[in-house]
Structure formats: structure tokens, C-alpha cells
Amino acid sequence: MVQYAAIRKFLITHRGYYCEACLAGLLHVPAEDIQRSLDEQERPDIAIAYKICRNCSSEKRVIGLRART
């Protein structure tokens, strides 16, 4: 299973929102691993929203870093 730290590191270096399928492809892991890693507990710095994926340009559920205020 992909570690949360690997997902966070990728999102820090690649700004924007990515769907689970694209994020899994970019990290070379199954999409189910992405979902399981993020569903384990609430992540205060990761946002899950319905937006356009930066990689495939489809509007769907995407993952990205929350903006710091």
C-alpha cells in the first residue's frame, strides 16, 4: 500500500488536483491503494473535492493539498 507521506510529497512537488486514477498512475500503484491510504483517517492537509483533474482534464473527485491560510 502506498504511504500517505508519498502522496503528500507528490502533491507538494506537483501542484494542482489529481483524480485517484491519475495519481495512482503517476505513483505507479493501484488506485485502490490511494483510496485506502486517504480513507484511513481524516487528513487535515489533503483536500478531496469535485473539480477538474490536472492530468486527464476530466471533472471528477480529485485530491490536492489544502491552501494554507
- What's the pLDDT tens digit per position in 12-69? 999 899 999 999 999 999 989 888 888 766 678 888 899 999 999 999 999 999 876 5
Tell me which residue range forms the domain holding 28.
4-65
Joined together, the cell numbers standing for residue 41 give: 483517517
Q: Considering the entire predicted model, what is its pTM? A: 0.83
- Alpha-helical regions (H) of 14-62: 20-27, 31-39
First to last CA, the chain: 31
Residue type, 62: V
- State the total domains in the chain: 1
Q: What ranges make up the beta strands (E) of the chain? A: 18-19, 46-52, 59-65
Walk across the sheet containing 18-19 and list its strands.
18-19, 59-65, 46-52
